Amino acid sequence: MDISSARPAEGNEIDRPVPSAPSNRVWGSDAIAAMLRELDIPYVALNPGASYRGIHDSLVNYLGNTRPRMLLCLHEESAVALAHGWAKVTGRPMAAFVHSNVGLMHATMAIFNAWCDRAPVLVLGATGPMDATRRRPWIEWIHTARDQGALIRNFTKWDDQPASIGAAQEAILRAWMIANTAPQGPVYVNFDLALQEDEVTELPPMPAIARHAPPAAPEPAGPLVQQAAVLLAGARRPVILAGRGSRDPAAWQRRVALAETIGARVVTDRKSGATFPTDHPLHVGGTAPIADADVILSLDWVDLAGTLRTAYAGKPVAAKIVQVSVDQYVHNGWSMDYQGFPPVDVYLLAEPDAAVPSLLAAVRELRPNPPPLPEPGPRPGPPPPSALDKAAIIQVPHIATALHAVLGDAPATMIRLPLSWADGLWEFRHPLDYLGTDGGGGIGSGPGMSVGAALALRDSGNERLPVAVLGDGDFLMGVTALWTAVHYAIPLLVIVANNLSFFNDELHQERVARQRSRPVENRWIGLRMADPPLDLAMLARGQGAQAHGPVDTVSRLATALREAIAEVRRGAVSVVDVRVAPEYDRAASSGVLRQSQ
């Protein structure tokens, strides 16, 4: 199945407009909307505003709210997060429309998340007229800024404010190409209100899409591939750091073949989506083999320098390093999301998916007989089902146990897992088994990104159960994204690992208090969401979703999940509020205490 071609099914349109009477009259915004259709952009997630009322009208009354279809969101942050979630599944952008400067301000964190996650999103915006004589009193003055794109220029790949209809079409086309070219990322096109609302005598000719298509991913230079292959084929203790990667099953298979050909231990990163089977004998949880490696292959690993520094405890890096990444093309001086500066011996300036085929071929030449696979090591795994009968209080690993019990072997996509979810609780055996995190560490993206990803899974006809396990803080900051899922009939299971706290920061406050010999028992102050506890189920139900909980006894967990999953299979959005202990002890859990950020 080609996941990148996910499309809304015809015939089940929601919000179908009354058809417009045939007319020869057209406006600037019609030409802009037509360009979105020409590019086959499936959806425009939006929160409305008068600055783009012209294009809004064109989407509804000129294009009939189909190709693209509108997805009304209750906040601009969720509109962009939805598009980000869609991109995480399909690898392709959809559009998010945000109103003038204020909507863009609401959207900024989500745009930053997409930027750090190298996720393509076409952000469309609008401004009051640049021609001051055409501004409506007051409102169009406050909603007009001289350089609106400046708000987000530091974390977008490109932005533009075109001054004519032809330029607007070209800007959309260029933005599309840039967003789709690796390293992918968000782009922004801002439309002047006057440009949208002026009537035009005729539509300009549509630019030739095929001649402005995103370029194919370049392959790395042959001699460098050979150098890398010599290092890898000759390595005695090679390690592959499988970082950012696509959802393409064929690329996944080639990654596995490369590791097997050289007998490399493979380390994965929960920040990125699934890139290697976690139950493969060569996969290792944690980063222990790194310090002992003689050759390390980084497949666009996020923060290679930081990982090496931790593994080598600050000592010089002894291993030879092969880096495969094009990430430096988007590094700028504002955001340090480019991370540390790693030492590299062979640098393949290519996307991993484009480099692995030639690397694989070259190492196979040098090493035709793959070494035997190691015996699988002990795997932490979730607590056994019997733990559900015994435990007095729900801990996050019990959620994994209960989900396993209910789902069996049925496929699921873990769209998001919270910080409290330890590695090893869930195996990833397919690129769509797990989609990674938010990119920019911006809390509140969970609900919106989950809805966008669930939409892409639905539209690709995927049978996978869309599951998002979210922290209560993340859930609450973005909760109104759920309404969009309910309204557009996007099935989604949300499990809230609810510790009644922005608990990540309790760990930080505890750390600081210890350093300063101050009372650690105060760590919760300013962080706990209790007295009163928020009724998360009510917040979900209030938006038309199904809801369960609070589930606070282990014995009810599997039952609640079973009911919720049945609802999702019938097409619903279902939220299960699970009251979890903030911390859990090593003996009861998989052995890994929660990470913090």
Ligand X SMILES: Cc1ncc(C[n+]2csc(CCOP(=O)(O)OP(=O)(O)O)c2C)c(N)n1
Instruction: Name residues whose C-beta falls within 8 Å of residue 165's C-beta, 6 or more positions apart in sequence.
Output: 28, 31, 32, 195, 200, 204
185 binds, among ligand X, Mg ion, none (CB under 5 to 8 A by kind): none
Instruction: Give residue 39's identity as a one-letter amino acid code.
Output: L
Among 441, 533, 542, 591, which residue interacts with ligand X (rule: CB under 6 A)?
441
Residue range at the interface with ligand X (CB under 6 A); choices 60-68, 332-340, 482-490, 497-505: 497-505
Q: Could you give the residue ranges of the DSSP H alpha helices within 367-496?
A: 386-390, 396-407, 446-459, 472-478, 481-487
Nearer to ligand X, 260 or 472 (CB): 472
* Contacted entry of Mg ion, ligand X, none for residue 418, CB cut-off 5 to 8 Å set by kind: ligand X
How many residues contact Mg ion, by CB under 5 A? 6
Interface residue with Mg ion among 278, 325, 499, 589 (CB under 5 A) is 499
Rounded CA-CA distance 299/267 in Å is 10
Shortest CA distance to 39 belongs to which of 82, 7, 85? 7
Residue among 501 and 590 whose Cβ is closer to Mg ion? 501
Instruction: Tell me which of ligand X, Mg ion, none is bound by residue 505, counting a contact when its beta carbon lies within the kind-specific cut-off of 5 to 8 angstroms.
Output: ligand X
Taking the least distance from each CB to Mg ion, the nearer of 456 and 494 is: 494
Identified binder of ligand X from the candidate list 418, 431, 436, 448, rule CB under 6 A = 418
The CB-of-397 to ligand X minimum distance in angstroms stands at: 13
Name the segment binding ligand X (CB under 6 A); options: 117-125, 135-143, 373-381, 499-507: 499-507
Q: Is 597 in the site for ligand X (CB under 6 A)?
A: yes
Q: Tell me the C-alpha distance between 360 and 324, whole Å.
A: 13
Site track 82-121 with ligand X (rule: CB under 6 A), x = hit: ---------------------------x------------
Chosen residue from 192, 472, 567, 577 binding ligand X by CB under 6 A: 472
Greatest distance between any 2 Cα atoms in the chain: 77
Instruction: Tell me the number of residues near ligand X by CB under 6 A.
Output: 19
Rounded-to-10 torsion of CA 178, 179, 185, 188: 90
Question: Shortest distance, CB of residue 501 to ligand X, whole angstroms?
Answer: 5
What is the phi/psi pair of residue 145, to 5°? -125, 150
499 binds ligand X, rule: CB under 6 A:
yes
337 binds Mg ion (CB under 5 A): no
472 binds Mg ion (CB under 5 A): yes
Q: At how many degrees (to 10) do helices 76-90 and 100-116 cross?
A: 30
* Residue whose CB is less far from ligand X, 79 or 126: 79
DSSP label at residue 497: E
CA distance 29 to 60: 11
Q: Which is nearer to ligand X, 232 or 469 (CB)?
A: 469
255-263, 273-281, 406-414, 441-449 -> range binding ligand X (CB under 6 A): 441-449
Is 366 or 581 the residue whose CB approaches ligand X more closely?
581
Least gap, CB of 529 to ligand X (angstroms): 8
- The tokens for 442 are 């911006």
Cβ pair 267, 238 in contact under 8 A:
no
Q: Which helix (H) or strand (E) holds 327?
A: none
Min. distance of Cβ 176 from ligand X in angstroms? 29
Tell me: does residue 169 bind Mg ion (CB under 5 A): no
Residue 90 interacts with, from Mg ion, ligand X, none (CB under 5-8 Å by kind): none
Choice from 185, 471, 478, 550 touching Mg ion (CB under 5 A) = 471
CA-to-CA dists, residue 273 to 127, 253, 269, 405, 493, angstroms: 36, 15, 8, 24, 19
When asked if residue 473 is in the footprint of ligand X (CB under 6 A), the reply is: yes
Cα–Cα distance between 344 and 465 in angstroms, integer?
A: 41
> Structure tokens of 554?
């282990």
Tell the burial category of 451 from Cβ atoms under 10 Å away from its Cβ (0-12, 13-18, 19+): buried
Among 42-50, 207-215, 374-382, 501-509, which window interacts with ligand X (CB under 6 A)? 501-509
- Does 474 bind ligand X (CB under 6 A)? Our answer is yes
Region at 39 (left for phi over 0; alpha for psi -120 to 50; beta for the rest)? alpha
Q: What are phi and psi of 347, to 5 degrees?
A: -115, 110
Which partner in ligand X, Mg ion, none is near 442 (CB below 5 to 8 A by kind)?
ligand X
| Tokens coding 331 | 């590094």
- Work out what residue 555 binds among Mg ion, ligand X, none; the CB cut-off runs from 5 to 8 Å by kind: none
Torsion of Cα atoms, 143 then 148 then 151 then 156, to 10°:
140
Q: Is 508 exposed, middle or buried (0-12, 13-18, 19+ CB in 10 A)?
A: middle
Question: What are the E-state strand segments in 258-316?
Answer: 265-268, 283-284, 295-299
Our finding on whether 78 is near ligand X (CB under 6 A) is no
Rg of the Cα atoms in the chain? 25
Q: Does 395 bind Mg ion (CB under 5 A)?
A: no
C-beta of 190: minimal distance to ligand X in Å? 24
Residues of span 443-462 touching ligand X by CB under 6 A: 443-444
Task: Give the residue, chosen from 428, 503, 524, 584, that forms a contact with ligand X under the rule CB under 6 A.
Answer: 503
Three-point CA angle 499, 469, 299, nearest 5°: 120
Distances (CA, A) of 99 to 79, 110, 226: 11, 15, 51
Among 155, 503, 524, 584, binds Mg ion (CB under 5 A): 503
Token duo for residue 428 = 């990833």
Q: Report the nearest approach of Mg ion to the CB of residue 62 (Å).
A: 45
Task: State the residue for tokens 């075109």.
Answer: 162
Q: Closer to ligand X by CB, 1 or 512: give it.
A: 512
Residues that bind Mg ion (CB under 5 A): 471-473, 499, 501, 503
Residues that bind ligand X (CB under 6 A): 109, 418-420, 441-444, 471-474, 499, 501-505, 597
